[in-house]
Chain A
Amino acid sequence: MSTGTLDKLPIGKSARILDVGGEAALQQRLLEMGLLPGVDVTVVRQAPLGDPIEVKVMGYSLSLRRSEAANVQIETTA
């Protein structure tokens, strides 16, 4: 078990969200889009220029910048 932030999660790996921070408006947006504690998230791919990334959360595809993903604390099992 190891903890980190979503922007560092390698492509193809899944993790569980521990906490979501960030500036108020961004945090609210992240939460509304389904990135909240207890939810599983998988990194699917990154854009050709390395940013943004695409993640699968709550069964849909969401793209966000690495800087935004850095506000999402995660833990990986195994």
Chain B
Amino acid sequence: MTEGHARHDRHVIALMGNPNTGKSSLFSALTGTRQKVANFPGVTVEAKIGTARFENSEITVIDLPGTYSMAARSPDERVATDALLGRIEGTPKPDGVIIVLDASSLDRNLYIGTQILEFGLPAVVALTMVDVAESRGITVDVAKLSETLGVPVVVINAPKGRGLDDLKSTLHRTLHHPGKVLELDYPDDFLRGVNTLYNELCDLGVKLGFKPTRPEALRLLVDGAGPFFDECEEVGGEEFISKFFEIREKAAGGRSLSMHEAQTRYGAIGKWMQEVKQTETREGRTRTDIVDGILTHKFWGSLVFIVVMGLIFQSIYSWSGPLMDAIDGSFGALGEWVGGMMSDGALKSLVVDGVIAGVGGVLIFLPQILVLFLFIAILEDLGYMARAAFLMDRLMSRFGLNGRSFIPMLSGFACAIPAIMGTRVIEDRNTRLTTIFLAPFMSCSARLPVYVLFIAAFVPQMKVLGFIELQGLVLFAMYWVGVFAAIPTALVLKKGILKSKATPFLLELPSYKTPRLKAVGRTLWDRGGSFIKRAGTIILAVSVLVWAAGYFPHSQEVDDKYDAQLAEVESAYADSILEFNPEEDADSLLAQYKAIDDAHEERVAEAEEAAEDDDALEQAISESKAERNAEMAKLAAKSADAEQALSHYADWKALEERRGEIENLRGGEHLEDSFLGRAGHVIEPAVEPLGWDWRIGMAAIASFPAREVIVATLGTIFNLGGDEDEESETLREVVKNAERKDGSKLFTLATALSIMVFFALCAQCAATLAVMRRETNSWKWPIASFLYMTVLAYIGALVTYQVAHALGG
């Protein structure tokens, strides 16, 4: 070893330890790279690589999934072990390791600590959660601990940024002057077994392609299974296997080898702890005990759960409403402004109908996404996820699943991809496959815009029981649609093709932590940022393509036809209109008529917003009409010209209306005639039973790569088909006002529900299917998932529409 004066050292360091001990927090603090941190086991499921700098050296840091032992049973545990041994492609072999130990449960943390130390890599212990330990009356003698283990120990608190410099410099020193290798007092037979097996493995070494180590021999001896065992079996054949079991039997001496291992390790740890750790028994219960007393209580726990869930869905509406209106309004204004700047034509249509109506339509849902993630982040940081698994295990085991499956499913409400990756903590293959298959049924955040749009447009704004918003309630119900579909699916899978015996539950319940503002803020920032990024990239691109398909060929014939109609109508009114131009002659009598009429329209619009039911609305409208007529009559009585002005005004209004109608027809015919329209008519019969027309059908098809695209495509399609001169409407209004060919409303409550159910159940996410393929290593699962979910979505939407329609919705 050199003395460490080299100018540019490059080192690779692995972070290892139990789950939830602060490894990812440390990784983020060292490298400046953001890594997902949350208060429950199993957040990190793959190795993450980053770079830290110390003086002249550059350190590559690998954040590994936390494990309780080096015995690798589940996929995430294998990653940790393989990475330490440098056996993962693309991940460099570590020169040293930071063992992260949680001071508040040091005994159990040291179990894997001793296993890592036996590998003999230069190691530094980072002691975390000292604050938590102290609050429980536990003090750790750091110097003694370091002396006992034979490696340096540094106290850190990564979230607070404490101890990092000390850790880095200690690490630097250790890499150049590593400490001693830990040796434990194993029973003689056991140790002899390890050595014999080690020699056997060395003989196999050439064929294995790498040099096995003694700690690996120990693992192989005790675990007697796993990928390394399979490899040896393949290379060594029958001969090796029979020798292996002979060695095992001798080493065990009638007991189980894992008992020998555990007793040796925990025996040593117990002895060390007598000197290292002091526990002052505190009277009274800890904060976690008190909180758990409520949150996992039979009655209070369920009550809190329901109240929190209700609160989430209520706030998605009540908190984000004003912000959403503001964003909506500004996109409307932007569209109008840009529209005013550009001359009519294809490019203007692309910008206004394609980009602004498409991307803007999606972006207005940013507030809802943020509110949803605010709650998820708080629950994650608090430590509630592990409790949810604890509460749900019994229920989940009825379906042959495991409470552990509940955590990935919960994160499925954010996004199915991390949920599917999170299943790596599940050791049983069949249980894992079932969980992967179920994850996309949880209503992810990309479905939220679809729900919010249709609920806001078609579910009346009213209160149930005096305080529950009906809209929030319907939203809550939409989330259950996926869950209810998942339950029988789970039963069929687990009792049928994916049968397996019950898998161990064994889950650590971490102590509660006060959610940190910074961590929650960071989650919101990341999620909000990626939502905007998505809107600006893939959704923008798809909007442009949908626009193009809906705009072209844009035949001249259609334009000519409507231009002729327009000219005809205009000439009919020409004489009368020439004298009347309210825009230019603001002070004229006619302008006053217009003002009176506008005021009437405004009152009607207000009444539509505020009215509680149809009767009230009708009354408000007729009152307003009467007011208008009275005012106009008053004006007419004032002067001699008034009569004439009134008739000009009526003509002008009629012309405007005819113009609007013609432009609408023109837009509609162009759209029908477009590539999108032609394809739409082909698929129309398939979506008709769902209560959809071809436009909704095409929008749904365009959303198969990513479901939130529907909001953008609906905006584009309806804008294209609509009147190009009309004042821009918000997407909610566009959807509300859209009509079928026969003039009836396109969207009814039944149609809206059918769309929402379709989106709740359909597998409209290419990325999820891709990750499914990767995680299961076969196309079988994504294809099965796609077919199953799509068929289910179709049937679900069909039943919903037919039932709701029959009930008069």
Say if the two chains contact directly (CB < 8 Å).
yes
Quick one: which of A1-54 are within 8 Å of B by CB?
A: 20, 24-34, 36-37, 39, 44-45, 47-52, 54
**Contact status B390-A27, CB under 8 Å:** no
Name the residue on B nearest A61 (C-beta).
Answer: B509
A residues less than 8 Å from B68 (CB atoms): 32-33
Identify 26 residue pairs between A and B in the complex whose beta-carbon atoms are under 8 Å apart, listed by A's number. A24-B256, A24-B258, A25-B73, A27-B256, A28-B69, A28-B262, A31-B261, A32-B68, A37-B263, A44-B289, A45-B292, A47-B391, A47-B393, A48-B302, A51-B393, A51-B394, A52-B394, A54-B296, A60-B104, A60-B105, A63-B386, A63-B403, A64-B504, A64-B506, A65-B393, A68-B505
Name the residue on A nearest B299 (C-beta).
Answer: A48
**Contact status A65-B505, CB under 8 Å:** yes
Instruction: Tell whether B71 is near chain A: CB-to-CB under 8 Å.
Output: yes
Binding site for B on A (CB under 8 A): 20, 24-34, 36-37, 39, 44-45, 47-52, 54, 58-65, 67-68
A residues less than 8 Å from B298 (CB atoms): 48
A32 with B111: in contact, given A52-B393, A60-B508 (CB under 8 Å)? yes
B residues less than 8 Å from A26 (CB atoms): 504
Give a binary string over B114-136; 1 marks a CB under 8 Å from any A CB, 0 the rest: 00000000000000000000001
Shortest distance between the CB of A70 and any CB in chain B (Å)? 12
A50 to B107, CA, bound (A): 29
**Contact status B71-A61, CB under 8 Å:** no
Shortest distance between the CB of A10 and any CB in chain B (Å)? 16
Shortest distance between the CB of B346 and any CB in chain A (Å)? 63
A residues less than 8 Å from B302 (CB atoms): 48
B residues less than 8 Å from A44 (CB atoms): 289, 292
A66 to B296, CA, bound (A): 17
A residues less than 8 Å from B261 (CB atoms): 31
B residues less than 8 Å from A29 (CB atoms): 73, 504, 506
Give a binary string over B289-314; 1 marks a CB under 8 Å from any A CB, 0 the rest: 10011001110011000000000000
A residues less than 8 Å from B107 (CB atoms): 34, 58-59
**Contact status B505-A49, CB under 8 Å:** no
Shortest distance between the CB of B118 and any CB in chain A (Å)? 15
Partner of B259, one of A33, A36, A54: A36
**Contact status B263-A36, CB under 8 Å:** yes
Name the residue on A nearest B288 (C-beta).
Answer: A61
**Contact status B508-A62, CB under 8 Å:** yes
Give a binary string over B78-110; 1 marks a CB under 8 Å from any A CB, 0 the rest: 000000000000000000000000001101100
- The residue in A32, A33, A61 that gathers the most chain B C-beta atoms within 10 A of its C-beta is A32
A28 with B108: in contact, given A45-B296, A62-B509 (CB under 8 Å)? no
Give a binary string over B712-724; 1 marks a CB under 8 Å from any A CB, 0 the rest: 0000000000000
A63 to B297, CA, bound (A): 15
Please classify the interface of chain B as helix (H, G, I), strand (E, B), loop, or mixed, using the class held by over half of its residues: helix
**Contact status A52-B108, CB under 8 Å:** no
A39 to B779, CA, bound (A): 48
Interface size on B, residues (CB 8 A): 49
B residues less than 8 Å from A61 (CB atoms): 288, 292, 508-511
**Contact status B69-A52, CB under 8 Å:** no
**Contact status A63-B390, CB under 8 Å:** yes
B residues less than 8 Å from A64 (CB atoms): 504-507
By Cβ-Cβ distance, the 8 closest A-B pairs, closest first, are A31-B262, A49-B394, A60-B105, A28-B258, A61-B509, A48-B298, A32-B69, A58-B107
**Contact status B393-A48, CB under 8 Å:** no
Instruction: Tell whether B473 is near chain A: CB-to-CB under 8 Å.
Output: no
A68 to B391, CA, bound (A): 17
**Contact status A31-B505, CB under 8 Å:** no
Shortest distance between the CB of B789 and any CB in chain A (Å)? 30
Instruction: Tell whether B138 is near chain A: CB-to-CB under 8 Å.
Output: yes
Instruction: Tell whether B468 is near chain A: CB-to-CB under 8 Å.
Output: no
A residues less than 8 Å from B580 (CB atoms): none
Shortest distance between the CB of B398 and any CB in chain A (Å)? 10
Give a binary string over B54-91; 1 marks a CB under 8 Å from any A CB, 0 the rest: 00000000000000110101000000000000000000
- Known: A63-B505, A63-B506, A65-B504; 13 extra A-B contacts, CB below 8 A, are A27-B259, A28-B223, A32-B68, A48-B297, A48-B298, A48-B302, A50-B394, A59-B107, A60-B508, A61-B508, A63-B386, A63-B509, A65-B393
Name the residue on A nearest B115 (C-beta).
Answer: A32
**Contact status B395-A49, CB under 8 Å:** yes
B residues less than 8 Å from A27 (CB atoms): 256, 258-259
A residues less than 8 Å from B256 (CB atoms): 24, 27
Shortest distance between the CB of B107 and any CB in chain A (Å)? 4
Name the residue on A nearest B298 (C-beta).
Answer: A48
A residues less than 8 Å from B108 (CB atoms): 33-34, 58-60
Give a binary string over B382-408; 1 marks a CB under 8 Å from any A CB, 0 the rest: 000010011101110100000100000
B residues less than 8 Å from A39 (CB atoms): 266
Instruction: Tell whether B572 is near chain A: CB-to-CB under 8 Å.
Output: no
Name the residue on A nearest B259 (C-beta).
Answer: A31
Name the residue on B nearest A45 (C-beta).
Answer: B296
Shortest distance between the CB of A17 and any CB in chain B (Å)? 11
**Contact status A34-B111, CB under 8 Å:** yes
A75 to B263, CA, bound (A): 19
B residues less than 8 Å from A54 (CB atoms): 292, 296, 390, 509
Instruction: Tell whether B517 is near chain A: CB-to-CB under 8 Å.
Output: no
A46 to B391, CA, bound (A): 9
A59 with B506: in contact, given A48-B296, A48-B391 (CB under 8 Å)? no
Shortest distance between the CB of B143 and any CB in chain A (Å)? 22
Shortest distance between the CB of B269 and any CB in chain A (Å)? 9
A65 to B289, CA, bound (A): 20
B residues less than 8 Å from A51 (CB atoms): 393-394
B residues less than 8 Å from A62 (CB atoms): 506-509
